[in-house]
Chains A and B, each alone.
Chain A
Amino acid sequence: MRYPLNVTVNGLRASADVEPHRSLLSVLREEIGLTGPKEGCDDSECGACMVLLDGEPVNACSYLALQTDGRAVTTVEGVAPADGLHPIQRELLAAGGVQCGFCTPGIVMSAKALLDRNPDCDEDDVRHALAGNLCRCTGYQKIIAAVLRAARQPEHGPADRP
């Protein structure tokens, strides 16, 4: 049986009829057409699917889509201002924190969840915030440096939070 889902994604209303077992990730990618969140493990281990639900990080692969009804989801497509990049994205590019890029959307969302709450973070905070995100390419150092640099910029504020 399908049930109606009405969810705000990146500030816009989206609707779909979905079965109870469908994951938020599959609905974002296949019904709503947002392919920024990636499927790595489909099992809550890798963080490639990370999105924000009401401002908090969630593994979209393992969250029931119907449980987001009436709530607000932010994906990587929703973080940048119209005319550029989010500071986290900019610093990842500048630092070389992106290689194949598969982990990047999830890293951006976990980092954003941290900076929205605690821009005053230190390296240990960043490592803890990214504990659920695997990267097979970069070795993490450049990612962590980028997030710390983004944190020091005044403009990264939570303005784009839905």
Chain B
Amino acid sequence: MSRYFAPGNAAEAAELLRTTPGARVVAGGTDLVVAARGGKHPLPEVLVALHRVPELARVRETEAGIILGALTTHTWVERSGLVRSRWSALADAAAMIGSPATRSTGTIGGNLMNASPAMDLGSPLLVLDATVELRRTGGTRALTVAELLAGPGRTTAAPDELLSSVRIPAPVPGTGSAYIRLEHRRAMEIAIVGAAAALRFDSRGEIVAARLALTAAAPVCLRVPAAEAGLLGRRLDAEALAAAGRAAVAAVRPISDVRASADYRRAMTAVVVARALTLAARRAAAGSSVPGPDHPPTATGSVQ
């Protein structure tokens, strides 16, 4: 017999997870409930709905950065001028997700905990050095996004742990970031492959900080340290883009599925990497530009 709880605070939610066998959290339900309706997985026997927990919906800006409560919706991120200008890659990704209904219902916590290899927030959060806070009865711990993501649909969080918030440090001034995904159409789409980049240049136009991460190219979203290291100390010219693309292609472990073959994903990895780096560089030069909320950058229509 299925049961339902809608606790009013995070401590109560965590305690329900600890004491109720089989209990699972539901935030927006755009993964959990939709999978059940599509017949993929039955709904869990015990549902702990989080939407009544105000502390999980809170957004805090500090000198050190921003802390987004787990219930922060993609719509909130997409509309936030602050996120668009400082953490552009995350705003790019949030604006691409599903439809307006998906974005106003789906949450950052649900996207991370669902841990799809094609999740759009993963790579942006990786290049922005985000950490997550996990909370259980009796304590909290902080993990990097790389430490959280364990495989397709798997995280390193324990069954009685809640994801309470995502912390993103303030970027060093002059940093530009971007997220690009390759897709068959401009909305209601899942990434074929995607790439997020964050770059900073010195006064001579040479790269002094580089982050690059890939989406839907491996069992989890992952950074490509070899590509990052190779960019340091050089200009972002055609050769640098090609080298980063080669390093990224060497790091991927793509699958073949309905959306694309592994070979196509591998080939397109270099394309999205070049586009993400180019847009990040343009934003770094412009002092971080603001993508309009309704026009996320995509790679559609320009694949040769």
B226 contacts chain A at the CB level, 8 A cutoff: no
Whether the Cβ atoms of A131 and B99 lie closer than 8 Å is: yes
Whether the Cβ atoms of B100 and A23 lie closer than 8 Å is: no
Complex interface: chain A residues within 8 A of B36 (CB): 21
Whether the Cβ atoms of A21 and B100 lie closer than 8 Å is: no
Among B30, B100, B187, which residue has its beta carbon within 8 angstroms of that of A62? Answer: B30
Whether the Cβ atoms of A42 and B37 lie closer than 8 Å is: yes
Q: How far is the CB of B99 from chain A (nearest CB, A)?
A: 3
- Interface residue tally for chain A (C-beta within 8 Å): 34
Whether the Cβ atoms of B51 and A50 lie closer than 8 Å is: no
Q: Which residue of B lies closest to A106 (CB)?
A: B101
Q: Which residue of B lies closest to A60 (CB)?
A: B101
Q: Which applies to chain A's interface (DSSP): helix, strand, loop or mixed?
A: mixed
Q: How far is the CB of B185 from chain A (nearest CB, A)?
A: 9
Whether the Cβ atoms of A19 and B294 lie closer than 8 Å is: no
Q: How far is the CB of B6 from chain A (nearest CB, A)?
A: 7
Interface of chain A residues 28 through 53 with chain B (CB within 8 A): 42-45, 47, 50, 53
Whether the Cβ atoms of A128 and B187 lie closer than 8 Å is: yes
Whether the Cβ atoms of B100 and A64 lie closer than 8 Å is: no
Interface of chain B residues 29 through 48 with chain A (CB within 8 A): 29-30, 33-34, 36-38, 43, 47
Complex interface: chain A residues within 8 A of B4 (CB): 1, 3, 20, 64, 66
Whether the Cβ atoms of A43 and B34 lie closer than 8 Å is: yes
Question: A-facing mask of B71-102, CB < 8 A → 1, else 0?
Answer: 00001000000000000000000000011111
Complex interface: chain B residues within 8 A of A129 (CB): 100
A113 contacts chain B at the CB level, 8 A cutoff: yes
Complex interface: chain A residues within 8 A of B49 (CB): 64, 66-67
Whether the Cβ atoms of A63 and B43 lie closer than 8 Å is: no
Bound complex: CA A67 to CA B105 (Å):
11
Q: How far is the CB of A150 from chain B (nearest CB, A)?
A: 17
Whether the Cβ atoms of B294 and A125 lie closer than 8 Å is: yes
Instruction: Knowing A63-B29, A64-B29 are in contact, say whether A44-B37 is a contact too (CB < 8 A).
Output: yes
B289 contacts chain A at the CB level, 8 A cutoff: no
Q: How far is the CB of A109 from chain B (nearest CB, A)?
A: 9
A97 contacts chain B at the CB level, 8 A cutoff: no
- Interface residue tally for chain B (C-beta within 8 Å): 30
Q: How far is the CB of A132 from chain B (nearest CB, A)?
A: 3
Q: Which residue of B lies closest to A69 (CB)?
A: B6
**Residue of B3, B43, B100, B101 with most chain A CB atoms under a 10 A cut-off:** B101
Complex interface: chain A residues within 8 A of B286 (CB): none
Whether the Cβ atoms of B34 and A131 lie closer than 8 Å is: no
Bound complex: CA A110 to CA B26 (Å):
24
Q: How far is the CB of A80 from chain B (nearest CB, A)?
A: 21
Whether the Cβ atoms of A50 and B101 lie closer than 8 Å is: yes
Bound complex: CA A66 to CA B50 (Å):
12
Whether the Cβ atoms of B99 and A21 lie closer than 8 Å is: no
Bound complex: CA A43 to CA B294 (Å):
24
A143 contacts chain B at the CB level, 8 A cutoff: no
Bound complex: CA A19 to CA B102 (Å):
23
Complex interface: chain B residues within 8 A of A105 (CB): none
Complex interface: chain B residues within 8 A of A53 (CB): 105
Interface of chain B residues 1 through 26 with chain A (CB within 8 A): 1-4, 6, 26
Bound complex: CA A113 to CA B102 (Å):
13
Whether the Cβ atoms of B37 and A61 lie closer than 8 Å is: yes
Q: What are 13 A-B contacts defined by CB distance under 8 Å? A: A1-B4, A3-B4, A56-B75, A56-B101, A56-B105, A58-B101, A58-B105, A64-B26, A66-B49, A67-B29, A113-B100, A124-B295, A132-B98
- Show the binding face of B for A, using Cβ within 8 Å: 1-4, 6, 26, 29-30, 33-34, 36-38, 43, 47, 49, 51, 75, 98-102, 104-105, 186-188, 294-295
The 10 closest A-B pairs by CB, nearest first: A132-B99, A131-B187, A20-B4, A56-B104, A57-B101, A131-B99, A128-B294, A20-B2, A62-B34, A44-B34
